[in-house]
Structure 1
């Protein structure tokens, strides 16, 4: 499968749409329960509510959280999807982040410039939307603030999902009680370890990608290394990577990773504490001048240590009155920065189908047909680390996103 996906020739064919104005057709369901208040769940709620569906978000935590201490990039395809939901969203994200910064590759030891990715500085001109670096927590807040408070519910831990011909019921633990909530459609947006997915499609263990990543967000003022340029900086050597984004507000984000192979298995070992994590990085990145400079400026308590995991793209995303999206359906590695962007596309496509298909079964079937092939290709590409992708791939990735007014079919 992977070999076939990597040799694809992407094409698309516009299809007619019955929506002749900005007003969508009457949706096939009047209410959707969304399990999970992360980026994908919130964006889906915005998309669904725009087309007239009462989307209600149920989050396990006592508040909306996720991605603390991390940063993500919103690429043109993700920006286009959010723009379909609310034209003001991309402007808000741009104001809170940094758009279209230069992307540089440097020598990890000397800091000398080895090359640059010029496209990053002309994304908006090329694809109609920018690439925006933004702190995860800030994007989460922007999406949350777009939704009314009455559609966000906290402290609901999903235990099970059942269904009948009239709808699906989510069984939550709320405080010390079990609360069951029924809706015509339930949407699982509860991440890589999704309960909705496991209860609907069976257990699936995330794949270990053979490397560990350490990340942190620190005050940019703490770093004054001469090799540190505003924008994105990457260095790669023998299974070790350094990725830095500087100038997002007054913050600097860094992510270092080590493969098990390059460390004779040492990367597999979890650090006993964060002080040990910092000391391990000092040793592993010895000689990487910029990496060590940034590391010394980092309080150990800010460091996040995680194994890099992904999930094989599900071959079935819907079952009866239950559907999944985002990481629950296709958790990808961070290599292309497409996790949240694909989730935003998922929510938009679902909204399109729920307002254009003839019945719910057809809507969910078409949702799968539109999204699964694209997710499979992106997933395969993210796993092909160290492989240079052709420009045609990026053109396809950033250009071909669904539209609430003029949907497209993807052909492979």
Structure 2
């Protein structure tokens, strides 16, 4: 019950339940405290988690490694504790690091963007005589793959096998992705075959990965074959897999196939995502004929996504453009639960669409609101008093032009009252 209430963040109900538990003569044990600290940690209530951690020690209930690592890494994520101090903190608590401890901290380092430090700790772990396990290798292979250090990933894969570990489904998936990104798609398919031969049953994400890899390689027929193979295996595709195939169809202008795929998504009960809509809007922007543009608009309507309502209800700019900015701001607030990359992708597509269709004022207003809401983090940075940096590489052509124009206009407005620049 404590775990269930913790996942629902009902901490008031947890406290009442604990009082009732004690009144009934049932004292909290290590499992109870584990649940409490994990619940508070997930919700970023670190002070409460630390309070529980201290309380359990006062009553003589010693924390285990799992609990200590979870608490320390949670503290690190919130900036309360620096990563290099985690191991000394554990040793002060009388807990020597084991394989699990090292693996958790390595993963935490890698996800925080400190790959070099993660790799150094991995080597230190081996030097200290602490043998990595399959999970540790999977973490390292995945971290290098995410950083596009593909050769390092493949070397770790070979090292893992040399150490006597058999790959599991996670390992196979990562290695297939690495091979695909290196352009070795036939080898990726060979890994899939080996995976089945070793009695690992491929799930939907594995099939989806092959759909995505072949689609990005421009081989729509192979992407379609793997999509059909997934259906034949009795698996239901998810939205990202459908998006991968949709992107492949749109790239080669197979709009009818895109239409049928969208309809099949809806019939399977899959709701088109923000990425689905972004793909269609970008295709509409790049359309070469009015027929293609009309067809893309029809596909955008079929998705039923709120982004389409946002575009259709875009107001005509007022004298100061405030009505457009408010419209954009309300939409982005509604999309707050979407991850930043997805929001940036849509905003990029919207600005590009407005720019290329001559709606420059609307494009500028969308950029200003998106920049204000940190959709493009650090896109414009002040390096010194007279030196600013604008990163146009993460934007489409239309967004880059709009961002540069609005940024320079903003500088000019600030400089003119001071007489720093000539109005022309």
Same fold (TM over 0.5): no
Q: TM-score range by the shorter chain?
A: under 0.3
The structure with more radius of gyration = 2
TM-score by length of 2: 0.22
Relative to total residues, which structure has the larger helix share, 1 or 2? 2
The higher-RCO structure (CA 8 Å, 6+ apart) is: 1
